[in-house]
Amino acid sequence: MFKSLNAVRIGGREVLPLIEGGKGISATNHMSSGAWALAGGIGTVSAVNADSYDADGNIIPQIYNGRTRRDRHEELIRYAIEGGVEQVRRAWEVASGKGAININILWEMGGAQRVLEGVLERTKGLVAGVTCGAGMPYRLSEIAASHGVHYYPIVSSARAFRALWKRAYHKAAEWLGAVVYEDPWRAGGHNGLSNAEDPLKPEDPYPRVKAIRDVMRQEGIPDDVPIVMAGGVWNLSEWEHWIDNKELGAVAFQFGTRPLVTQESPIPDEWKQRLLTLEEGDVLLHRFSPTGFYSSAVRNPFLRELEARSERQIPFTTEEVGEHVFELDAGNLPRGQKAFVTQGDLFRAREWAALGYTEALKTPDSTLVFVTPESKAEIRKDQSDCMGCLSQCSFSSWADNEKNTTGYLADPRSFCIQKTLQSIGHGGDVEQNLMFAGHNAYRFKSDPFYSNGFIPTVKQLIERIVSGK
């Protein structure tokens, strides 16, 4: 029989050790996070370009009118603050004072610090904590402490947490709510794999979490400050040996994928139904994201097209060098530009052109990728429409600095992440947009809880989780 799951003290509140993962751009909102808190856990509002509403309750489309990227970036920050504040207020009303409401921020999103400050300034007393990952958020503890809320850094290794603690977090030790260990091989969305780790060889999370606890103990952090296991958690019965485990100290569990398929989940029904059909292996860990991070998403036609695009790729030189002595005569390069390739790559380029991939686009790695004229037009438009949703974007070469550029050529092998996530979150084609999901998403199809297409309420899901199933 599954051992009972008791409430624990996290971030100064008695809650179930169950945390809703904050999924960016409309995949988590006030309905799901408020319901999660109402059921006694920690609901997490995504403060990543969250939706706001007009006087009639309709979602306000995030349309950008600025002439420059900098102008559009300022519009994006205003949208993000207004949306974050509105979602927190509505989540608080749904929760009715139960559980806790956290907000989730991606440190590498455009204007992250300004958005975080803006939301916290206008939601005093409503937000219990800030969960933050996607980068090394050294200022997270300082900002959270200044607003009297707890902070929950997301890390994928003990080394990362030690660096954060030594450099900054020890100055605000009392505001550390928990440390979130996000498994880089199993979690959905962006993942924190380091260059020393093999993306094809998942590691056991237990020793990695134990290593984090060891660092916490070395730094004098009490064992009752939980480590949150995030990524790959489905049934708690599979994690029973983690609960009340003295070696690990206090633990909690974060669920990102399972809350997507609930009645309160704001994602479109088409997305929910697609998740119910996935097979094992349908979620791909890839590096197409313009953030530069690995990320995990459903391997639908959108993702497969990116895979195929990168496969239609050859190196080139601007002068005859080594084996690159054959002038490229396919790919419609701009007038006056020349590219030299190997003989084998010349034949490949001609074959691609014959199939309709007649446009060669340069990458920052001195390669050419071959796309159709329609794809080229879409890529160029998306790049020119950039609104700076990331601190640095490889796809558009935007950077949140004085020159607003990374200094590198825009990379056509990537995509506009803001565009596709806004689209899928608001009814766009689930096959032609990026669909984030954790690697356990295939379990929807085999879990009897979801038999006959059953979609539970958040309350029913939490009851199921508490039972160990």
174 with 308, same domain? no
The answer to whether the beta carbons of residues 254 and 21 sit under 8 Å apart is yes
Query: Which residues 6+ apart lie within 8 Å of 243 measured at CB?
Result: 3, 5, 236, 251
- Whether residue 284 lies inside any domain: the answer is yes
Helix (H) / strand (E) element for 213: namely: helix 205-218
Q: What count of other Cβ atoms lies within 10 Å of the Cβ of residue 449? A: 15
Tell me, yes or no, whether 23 and 97 share the same domain: yes
Per the CB < 8 A criterion, the answer to whether 46 and 279 are in contact is no
pLDDT of residue 22: 84
CA 417, 422, 423, 427: dihedral to nearest 10 degrees?
150
CB 373 within 8 A of CB 358: yes
Give CA–CA dist 180/133, Å, rounded: 9
Residues 277 and 308 grouped into a single domain: no
CA distances from 437 to 274, 292, 330 (A): 11, 18, 38
Tell me, what's the pLDDT at 5?
82
Record the tokens describing residue 52, joined without a space. Answer: 């706001």
Quote the crossing angle between the two packed helices 205-218 and 158-167, to the nearest 10°: 20
What is the C-alpha separation between 454 and 466, in angstroms, rounded? 19
| pLDDT at 196 (0 to 100) | 82
Q: Specify if 429 maps to a domain.
A: no
Mark whether 278 and 374 lie in a shared domain: no
Q: Is residue 427 part of a domain?
A: no
Say whether both 288 and 312 belong to one domain.
Answer: no
**What pLDDT tens digit does each residue of the chain (469 aa) get?**
567 788 888 888 899 999 999 887 788 899 999 999 999 999 999 998 899 999 999 999 999 999 999 999 999 999 999 999 999 999 999 999 899 999 999 888 889 999 999 999 999 999 999 999 877 888 999 999 999 999 999 999 999 999 999 999 999 999 999 999 999 999 988 888 887 888 889 999 999 999 999 999 999 999 999 999 999 999 999 999 999 999 999 999 999 999 999 999 999 999 999 999 999 999 999 989 998 888 999 999 999 999 999 999 999 999 999 999 999 999 898 888 999 999 999 999 999 999 999 999 999 999 999 999 999 999 999 999 999 999 999 999 999 888 889 999 999 999 999 999 999 999 999 999 999 999 999 999 999 999 999 999 999 999 999 998 8
Q: CA 410, 438, 424: angle at the middle one, nearest 5?
A: 55
What is the extent of the structural domain holding 63?
Answer: 8-292+437-466
In one letter, which amino acid is 15?
V
Residue 276 lies in a domain: yes
Q: Is position 338 within any domain?
A: yes
d(CA 333, CA 6): 64
For residue 422, the one-letter residue type is: Q
pTM of the model: 0.93
The enclosing domain of 99 has a CATH number of 3.20.20.70
* Residue 447 and residue 415 share a domain: no
Residue 1 has what pLDDT? 55
Sorted by sequence, the CB contacts under 8 Å of residue 3 that are 6+ apart come out as 240, 243, 244
Location of structure tokens 């084609």: 429
If one counts every other C-beta atom within 10 angstroms of the C-beta of residue 251, the result is: 20
> Which pLDDT score is estimated for 194?
81
Q: Are residues 270 and 403 in the same domain?
A: no
Q: Are residues 311 and 446 in the same domain?
A: no
Residue 238 lies in a domain: yes
Same domain, 308 and 271: no
DSSP class per residue in 286-321: ES--TTSSEEEEE--HHHHHHHHHHHSEEE-BSS-B
Q: Do the bridges between strand 367-371 and strand 359-362 make them parallel or antiparallel, or are there none, so unpaired? A: antiparallel
Shared-domain flag, residues 397 and 444: no
In a domain, residue 432? The reply is no
pLDDT of residue 336: 81
Give the pLDDT of residue 103: 95
Residue 1 lies in a domain: no
Specify which residues 367 forms β-bridges with: 315
Q: Amino acid identity of 140?
A: L
Partners of 362 in the β-ladder: 368
109: which DSSP letter? B
**Phi-psi category of residue 427: left, alpha or beta, with phi > 0 → left and psi -120 to 50 → alpha:** left
The predicted-structure confidence for 393-436, as pLDDT tens digits, reads as follows: 999 999 988 888 999 999 999 999 999 999 999 999 999 999 99
For the chain, the residue count is 469
Which tokens is 71 given? 């102008």
User: Are 60 and 189 within one domain?
Assistant: yes
User: What is the number of structural domains in the chain?
Assistant: 2
**Same domain for 237 and 322?**
no
